[in-house]
Chain A
Amino acid sequence: SYVLTQPPSVSVAPGQTARITCGGNNIGSKSVHWYQQKPGQAPVLVVYDDSDRPSGIPERFSGSNSGNTATLTISRVEAGDEADYYCQVWDSSRGVFGGGTKLTVL
């Protein structure tokens, strides 16, 4: 089965740039979606199809995908961005999530 690998945690100071990676075999050939989940809340889509943003999501959130790594980039990080982030793809019609990355804003 397809596996997505994320770092368990990423820490960044306010105003800096956070990069969260998602590794998978030839993930560049798949569409990657990213979800943000704050404590006690349901996940929210923040980037879809590698690099598109849903309406209402700040331009500070962006994504890229190539080779074996997809990346979620959050520019000018704010305290409110502290959350768990999950990447997700479809493989053989089955959903696959990464293990999640906890973003800590120092």
Chain B
Amino acid sequence: EVQLVESGGGLVKPGGSLRLSCAASGFTFSSYSMNWVRQAPGKGLEWVSSISSSSSYIYYADSVKGRFTISRDNAKNSLYLQMNSLRAEDTAVYYCARDWGAARLIDPWGQGTLVTVSS
């Protein structure tokens, strides 16, 4: 069974940092691009970042560029999101998700981890 499990969320003060992790299992992690997608409380989905299978291609949403860094460790079947200079508007549930196929459908998604940025 394909499974994605996020961890690392929590309460952090504005300007602080946090590192999210996503543990993948049930598929050949090193063959797939991965993504982070977030959802602020009561709001819609927002794509945050993606990384190709070999980390050759990395993209960010303008809202996080320069503050967030996506990375992966294929030997550990793990995806990461280093979040620096956090703002209140970064408060959200962060989902780890795989994309695949020529059309890059996003499936499956993890259960999400909540990040709260507040003083």
Which among A35, A49, A95, A97 has the highest number of chain B CB atoms within 10 Å?
A: A95
Say if the beta carbon of B68 comes within 8 Å of chain A: no
Interface size grouping (class) on chain B: 20 to 34
Interface residues of B in 30-80 (CB under 8 A from A): 35, 37, 44-47, 50, 57, 59, 61-62
- Partner of A95 from the list B47, B62, B103, B110 (CB cut-off 8 Å) is B47
Per DSSP, are chain A's interface residues mostly helix, strand or loop, or mixed?
strand
Contact (Cβ within 8 A) B112 A42 = yes
Grouping DSSP codes into helix (H, G, I), strand (E, B) and loop, the B interface class, with mixed when no group exceeds half, is: strand
B103/A45 in contact, CB under 8 A: no
In the complex, A21 Cα to B9 Cα: how many Å? 34
Interface size class of A (residues with CB under 8 A): 20 to 34
Docked pose: A90 CA to B44 CA in angstroms: 17
Q: Does the CB pair A49–B107 fall under 8 Å? A: no
B44 with A97: CB separation less than 8 A: yes
Mark each residue of chain A from 16 to 50: 1 if its CB lies under 8 Å from any CB of chain B, else 0: 00000000000000010101010000111100110
A100 touches B44 (CB 8 A): yes
In the complex, the answer to whether B45 meets A100 with C-beta atoms within 8 Å is yes
14 CB-based A-B contacts, threshold 8 Å? A31-B103, A37-B45, A42-B108, A42-B111, A45-B107, A45-B108, A48-B105, A49-B105, A54-B107, A88-B47, A90-B104, A94-B47, A94-B50, A99-B44
Chain A residues within 8 Å of B, Cβ to Cβ: 1, 31, 33, 35, 37, 42-45, 48-49, 54, 84, 86, 88, 90, 93-100
